[in-house]
Chains A and B, each alone.
Chain A
Amino acid sequence: MPYQNNLTHKEKDYLEDALQMENLTITKCSVYTDQCRDQDIKSLLIDIGKTKRQHANKLKQLLGQVGNQQIQ
């Protein structure tokens, strides 16, 4: 709500790109967590995966909310 209704094309592109990359990292983290041998690294990967999921949600929110607001 505090932001303007419209995203510029660039912002939208950046958000989408970022979302894609975050999703890729989430996938990588879960694959690596399965393959990993060291327990410490495993938990590190899980942590990173969680952070990345938060990122992805934030980005989705921005993309989604803006979409809703454009209707207004």
Chain B
Amino acid sequence: MVYRNRTTTTTSRNRLSDRDMLLDLLATGKNMSHLYDHAIMEASNSTIRDTFETLQHDEHMIADTVFGVMEQEGWYSTGADRQNQAQNMGNSQRQSGDFDTQASSRYAASSGSPRFGGNLAGRGQSSRSGRSQSRPGTASQMEWTL
């Protein structure tokens, strides 16, 4: 699951944003759906099984509605969305075949990751000096925390 706007997660302390509420309901529903799935499989009594199946169906309907609202609000990004984002960012994790020189140099400048890999091959002091050389230090740190 990939969520788009991390900043909208929690608006204030002790209070969930609307998005988080729906997200929580979605997660709870998913959990219950698993429970019902097992219950249906293990029921030996047809009435009980039918009941569980009805409840399971309702669960699916609820999840569908909640998901619809979240998608409409842009709170829940699906795979297609994520792919667009990756292309916009020039970050082609998913299609490493498209990793052209421009993208890789941008990647090196922004996150310093290739340099970091080089440090692993070398050792000790060189790694420290290599790290301090990477210019946009704050930017690289931010990327790492992501």
B39 within 8 A of A: yes
Taking CB atoms, residues of chain B closer than 8 Å to A72 are none
**CB of A68 closer than 8 Å to a CB of B:** no
Query: Which A residues from 1 to 59 make CB contacts under 8 A with B?
Result: 2-4, 7-8, 10-11, 14-15, 17-18, 21-22, 24-25, 28-29, 32, 35-38, 40-41, 44-45, 48, 51, 55, 58-59
Contact of A44 (CB < 8 Å), options: B15, B42, B65: B65
By the criterion CB–CB under 8 Å, are B69 and A40 in contact?
yes
Q: Which of B48-56, B91-99, B111-119, B128-136 contacts A (4 or more CB under 8 A)?
A: B48-56
Considering the complex, which residues of chain B in the window 44-99 have a beta carbon less than 8 Å from any beta carbon of chain A? Answer: 44-48, 51-52, 54-55, 58, 62, 65-66, 69
Cβ-defined contact, B69 with A55, below 8 A:
no
Q: Which residues of A contact B21 (CB under 8 A)?
A: 32, 35-36, 41, 45
Instruction: Decide: B25 and A15 in contact? CB cutoff 8 A.
Output: no
Number of residues from B at the complex interface, CB < 8 A: 31
Minimum Cβ distance to chain B for residue A62 (Å): 6
Known A3-B46, A41-B21; judge A18-B55 contact (CB<8 A): yes
Chain A residues at the B interface, C-beta cutoff of 8 Å: 2-4, 7-8, 10-11, 14-15, 17-18, 21-22, 24-25, 28-29, 32, 35-38, 40-41, 44-45, 48, 51, 55, 58-59, 62
